[in-house]
Amino acid sequence: MYEAVGLSYNESKKSLIHSRLAPRIQRLGLGGFAEYIAILDDVSQAAEFQMAVDLLTTNETYFFREPKHYELLERELMQRRSKTPLSVWSAAASFGDEAYSTAMLLADMQTQGRVGPDWSILATDISQRVLLSAQEAVYPNDRLRAVSPERLRRYCLRGEGPMEGQSKLQDKICTRVEFGQLNLCKPFDGLGPFDVIFLRNVLIYFDPPTKIDVVDRVLATLRPGGLFFLGTAEGRVPCKTPLQTLQPGAFRKAP
C-alpha cells in the first residue's frame, strides 16, 4: 500500500485496518489476512487492490464542510480585479461534495456578477469507485445539511418515491466539474496552473516525507498568490514551498 499509493499506517492503526478489511475477507470466503495479501500482491487483481484502498481511506464527507474556508474563498474572489478565467482543483475529491460545493458558490457569484463565466473545477481522487459515484451526483439529504435552502432550490432535485431521502444535483452544476483519477504520490504532468487548490483531509494517510513530496508537487501547479486549503485539523503545512497563513487550514502561495 505504501509503495503503490503512499498509505502509511503504524502499529496503532492495526485495529482500524482489521475492522475495515475483515468483513471484506469474510465476504470473499478467505481464510484470513495472509490469503487476502496474496490476492493484493497479484497484479491481475487490480480491482481488489482498488477495493482495499477504498475501504482503508473512505471517510465521512458532506457539502460545505469547514464553511469558513468557503467564506474566505468568497471574500478573496470578490477582491479580484478582473473576471479572468478561474481554475480550481479539488485534489482529493472523494465523492465530490467539496467540488460541487465550490461549484455552487462560483455559480452564485457568477449570477451576481462577482466572477466571470469562465471558471472550471477539476476533481481528482485515487479511487475510481468514488469518482463514478461523484459523477452520478446523487446524495443522501443528510450530506446536504449545510447547503442553504436557496441553493437547494437552485441546484438540487429532491427525490420522490424510491428516491425519497436523496437529492440529485442539476446539470448546470454537474457540467462545471470535470472528474479524473489521479495518484498524488506519483509524478503527474499537464495539470494547472490553478488559482485555488483544495487538498483537505488526505495527508493523514501519509508519512512525513510523503506529505512533503505530495504538498510540494501539488503546490507546483498553484499560481503565485493562489489559495491553498488543508483540513483545519491538519496543522502546519508540510512543505518547502513558501506560504502565507490566512486562517486555520487556509494559505496563500508566495508571489
**pLDDT tens-digit map of 124-171:** 999 888 899 999 999 999 999 999 999 999 999 999 998 999 999 999
Same domain assignment for residues 117 and 140? yes
Same domain assignment for residues 134 and 16? no
What residues in the chain have per-residue pLDDT under 50?
Answer: none
Instruction: Identify the pLDDT of residue 25.
Output: 95
Same domain assignment for residues 102 and 11? no
Range(s) of the domain holding residue 122: 67-253
Same domain assignment for residues 16 and 110? no
Instruction: Identify the pLDDT of residue 46.
Output: 83
Chain-centroid distance of CA 117 in Å reads 23
Residue 1 included in any domain: no
Residue 215 near residue 81 (C-beta atoms within 8 A): no
How many domains, in total, are found in the chain? 2
Residue 5 near residue 126 (C-beta atoms within 8 A): yes
Enumerate the active-site residues.
20, 125
Same domain assignment for residues 244 and 118? yes
The residue from 34, 57, 80 where one domain ends is: 57
**What is the pLDDT of the chain when averaged over all its residues?**
93
Same domain assignment for residues 52 and 89? no
- Minimal CA–CA distance to 174: which of 124, 136, 201, 128? 136
